[in-house]
Structure 1
């Protein structure tokens, strides 16, 4: 086995625990079921669907909530809970990419009513925060004003953006400048998300070419580029996107964590501790020239 192969093989789960689920590596401190994870917050459920495809999900203590607008009561009803699927986990960056829903607001020209779906995720008092640099709050539509409520240290704030257009000819692929698509940044330290639409903007004036509006917290990458058919078709309706979350160990700094050898998470020789850049806590990395899993005894291997 080469040094590179040895280093990569160290990037694994605890001994005796599954290394992956559905082709997605699950490295410690994450683990499939309670005996394989550092703590309850890092438990992963590996669920196999009827089609035989397995998908990793965050612990059952973490759920996304969809709220649906009830036109009769003029209030939100709980529509459903959905588990949070994990697309991948990055040990060195302390990040995970998760699946999150695209919220919709659609106008019915027959009933003159509007159907809304709002999204809520609560990560307060957990090792997780929404990543500021890799996510954008995006709204899509031609008569759309969408808001995002977020919580930092249990204090609530609001942000949002609006997009308008009066004909499909005004739309341009790739552009998210306020004509059919808008976006805004997320602040650091966000642990709670609520996304909703302003009910005064309903697409009723543009329903002949744009019946629905959409809002999402999505990874800012090549995966998401505005396309004019997001406006003119139902391509986004009921779909999901990718959101990036940060995770840390504990809620102390490296200097404090090192004083308690029994709980200090950087277990491997040739490992280093890094303070989190998104709230309290720390991460472990392998020292320069080594690769693998610093959270495991002997996990950093292969002087490169």
Structure 2
């Protein structure tokens, strides 16, 4: 899908109805109000459980995010049939033109004419003229098909003519002509006239000016800048220009399904929940990887009471260790100060004098501070 610059921002849709008639309507398309779709071109009207694109008035058959396309029902032009529509062989044109139109016809579509001596011509297509015609010689000749190129937004109609030119009349039997992306091998125009519609494939663009949605694309790998190389990533985008607009073409990796335009984006497949595919042992748990899974050992659960007791004991021993270290350092400081005061106050000199006078009557004795405190009863 393509992303074009030039639209107003919308709040991110989170609480919108995303299903109509069993058909999923993913963002940027939406049903319930302006905040559920990107801009009015993406508005889907859900009438009687049938989704219609509001701007082009066509029923929606399918919307694909991964392929960037949608299928719609377009009218069948018919003439000379029991239920011929839209007058003399012309259907209501498919108008995908207009300012800001995000739609274009993809090259998977082809113009089909069914019936005898039937000519189908595309109208309102510029600058080319495209058509095909059938004959009545053989059964296979009653069907003609021609591929159409991928076009920018415009009006595309189908005109049904006879070989002599001009619109068909009831003469010559039933004839039908239409655009479709499906394979056609039924030579009976009555079937298509009865259906009244054929499936047509439209490509669609995304408006990159619609912040904050563009912010979600910043996590996607830019394959244009990487020269087309794709590394392990959940989503990727290519960038370029189309019909005068800048665009980005973004997709989720096949292992990460989701919507690249959502804030949640592309999410890894939970293969571990696929019952019966990935089994681990009773002491193992399953872990998701990008393209596979692996089994890893379970972490053993510990008893919270025992865990609390162990933590408490560890804290107690830590506090006791800190207190013991404090007492040890304090005692070492006191011993150091005693030695320093002893030297400062002449203790060494006194010791030397006592040593020289050793053996004389006049003996002196050095008392420690504790001995003095004991002798004087702490006085």
TM-score (norm. length: structure 1): 0.67
Structure with the largest fraction of helix: 2
Gaps of 5+ in 2: 1-11, 220-233, 269-289, 292-379
- Corresponding residue of 2:105: 130
Specify the structure having the higher radius of gyration (Cα): 2
- SS at the partner of 1:28? coil
Identify if the C-alpha distance between structure 1 residues 190 and 226 changes in structure 2 by more than 3 Å, giving closer, same or farther.
Answer: farther
CA contact (8 A) 1:150 1:190 kept: no
Ranked by relative contact order (alpha carbons within 8 Å, sequence separation 6 or more), the top structure is: 1
Structure 1 residue 120, shift from structure 2 partner = 0.6
- Corresponding residue of 1:116: 89
Structure with the largest fraction of strand: 1
**TM alignment of 1:220-239, pairs within 5 A:** 220-221=182-183, 225-228=184-187, 230-231=188-189, 234-238=190-194, 239=196
Does 1:39 find its partner at 2:39? Answer: yes
Q: Paired residue for 1:215, among 170, 177, 181?
A: 177
Q: Paired residue for 1:164, among 116, 121, 135?
A: 135
**TM alignment of 1:1-304, pairs within 5 A:** 14-33=13-32, 34-48=34-48, 54-59=49-54, 61-62=55-56, 83-106=57-80, 115-124=88-97, 125=99, 126-132=101-107, 134-149=108-123, 151=125, 155-166=126-137, 170-172=138-140, 179-191=141-153, 192-199=155-162, 200=164, 202=168, 207=172, 211-221=173-183, 225-228=184-187, 230-231=188-189, 234-238=190-194, 239-250=196-207, 262=212, 264=214, 266-267=216-217, 269=219, 270-275=234-239, 279=243, 280=245, 281-287=247-253, 289-302=255-268, 303-304=290-291
CA contact (8 A) 2:91 2:157 kept: yes
Identify if the C-alpha distance between structure 1 residues 261 and 19 changes in structure 2 by more than 3 Å, giving closer, same or farther.
Answer: closer
CA contact (8 A) 2:214 2:261 kept: no
TM-score (norm. length: structure 2): 0.55
Task: Tell me how large the CA RMSD over aligned residues is.
Answer: 2.9
Identify if the C-alpha distance between structure 1 residues 86 and 277 changes in structure 2 by more than 3 Å, giving closer, same or farther.
Answer: farther
CA contact (8 A) 2:60 2:73 kept: yes
CA contact (8 A) 1:274 1:285 kept: no
Structure 1 residue 282, shift from structure 2 partner = 3.0
- SS at the partner of 1:301? coil
CA contact (8 A) 1:266 1:272 kept: no
Partner deviation per Cα, 1:181-227 (whole Å, 9 max, x = no partner): 1111111224320211235364777x3xxx11111111133xxx322
Gaps of 5+ in 1: 1-12, 49-53, 63-82, 109-113, 173-178, 251-256
Q: After the TM superposition, which parts of structure 1 deviate over 6 Å for at least 4 consecutive aligned residues?
A: none
CA contact (8 A) 1:150 1:157 kept: no
- SS at the partner of 2:121? strand
Structure 1 residue 300, shift from structure 2 partner = 0.8
Q: 1: CA distance between counterparts of 2:142 and 2:240?
A: 36
